[in-house]
Amino acid sequence: MANEKQKITVNIMGVDYQIVTDDDPTRVQRIATLTDKLIKDTKGASPLLTNTGAAVLSALNLCEELFRCREEMAAFREKEELYEKNQKSYTQLTEALRRLDEEESVNKILQSRLDKAVLELNDTNDMLEEYKDKFNALRTEYELNKRTLSELQSKFLENQIELVKARKTLLDFDD
């Protein structure tokens, strides 16, 4: 029966009104009952008012409440938009934090590798210094041996010259 127009009779302040609507009849009856109550409450608070005056004053009160509800709704929507923006920011920050955590893990691994490489480099530098010291010692020994060899070669040459002279002297002596 939804969306079909129908006639509903409601009673407000003792007067029957025919309403043609496609709304739920129970809902329409509840609205009419609330309207009747508001007008009667207004008339009860100000008994000198006519029914029309009470209806107008009730309408003004309802309009004031409607304005307040609209203002509250606007404020609620602003808060809702702010909440959604904050939620989006929160999601972005959470994602950024997750990425930072991942990067921190990678950085820790890289730092560990770097520390290991530095230790290996230090060990290699220590070994290089040892080899340099050994090389310098061997160079010094080589230079000393080279000098000694040169001296020995000179003495050998001198001795050969002496030997040749001695042979010549012997040969000259034998002749």
Where does the pLDDT of residue 164 fall: very low under 50, low under 70, confident under 90, or very high at 90 and above?
Answer: very high
Report pTM.
0.50
Task: Write phi, then psi, for 13 (nearest 5 degrees).
Answer: 55, 40
3-state class of 50 per DSSP? coil
Where does the pLDDT of residue 1 fall: very low under 50, low under 70, confident under 90, or very high at 90 and above?
Answer: very low
CA 101, CA 16: separation in Å to the nearest integer? 72
13-44: pLDDT as tens digits: 999 999 999 999 999 999 999 999 999 999 99
Domains of the chain, first to last: 1-49 (3.30.160)
The answer, yes or no, to whether residue 172 has pLDDT greater than 60, is: yes
